[in-house]
Structure 1
């Protein structure tokens, strides 16, 4: 996001981030009051790095555009409309990724049953279908080191992530980077259903049909082209618009 963004741009960012929290909750991908979705704001007047985060203690289905907290790169509170502060330790991973990857407007971290299950097997996500093929060769891995409170681990996470936008945190969960909030959410939803499909397919006890590297890579490039058409070429995003319309019906207070 460019410096000097207009108030409307910031308002839209807050709306989109609140929508992300609601959509993750609506799809059963939240984990009580834990995990985070962060968004990078325009730099402050003195070049300060600023990010939006959920107030600590609120469920994802309670997050609104108005109660999001502004923090700096250390997780220190800059603006806190709700007054509950943030889980600064939970921002450890996010701050490291945001500071290293300036292309990441949004960083989304989940602990879902399917995501944790797939992160806990050596093979990770297999190209078993069209959903999972989009991630072929595009997933980074980071070995589990315990609850992510160690600041030194941040450098290892960033190094393992490299230039990828999707990471399986071994034995832990998933991490998604989006050039917009919309992209991060779409990646998260697609990864989640890919993991669910893998758990279901392997759970049948039959022989899975794994796509060839050639077909999986071709499919992944097709997905890349679709994402780039919106994030690089600036084409409309009808899927994100559809998500927002859904929230306007089932959870209209997210905008407030």
Structure 2
């Protein structure tokens, strides 16, 4: 299906969970969809089960793989206008009990934080240069606002994603690229590994949030992350941020990139 409203969508971490749920909905709405994942077997199953969904295998914890993905997008999906930074991993271990090699901790940080920041730098200028409307969706977490003692590194990285999303939105103000923060509560995906799934039903979550990812609202929550306690906090932070940003006078994306 091709319509004037057809979007070209990249979803990282799209072989399972929230990423796959959103990929299905974008594709069934008639959009072109490319998903990434680390496991070629899972990606092959996605391609077989969701005709038309394109795939890219790579580990986004690795900066060279992120650059390879960006080059792939430039070649095969040059009309990219929706970027969904969703790839995630969650190590469930408290700070006092965490004796893992630092490489495991660094991998978690790189997937959750380095990847969306790097991909934004690589792909947003290309999206702006197209001249049409564009959208960045950064997936954070309820843990960004209420840290989870069982997943402290995950919570800290998602808090950083939230902060970066706020400043990215300000930097893109005046362009045709909008920025949405998707804030899931606990959702019963395989994020934390076998036996650790709990929370909202993934299909129920995706059904509820997908229609809201149109750029009309800066944040999209669900259940606990859409309750007044969280939304009031975000609103208060936004007011404080806008005052600070106005005083700082940091330039956003150059007017030449605005169409």
TM range (shorter): under 0.3
Higher relative contact order (CA 8 A, sep 6+): 1
Q: TM-score, normalised to structure 2's length?
A: 0.25
Q: TM-score, normalised to structure 1's length?
A: 0.25
Q: Which structure: greater helix fraction?
A: 2
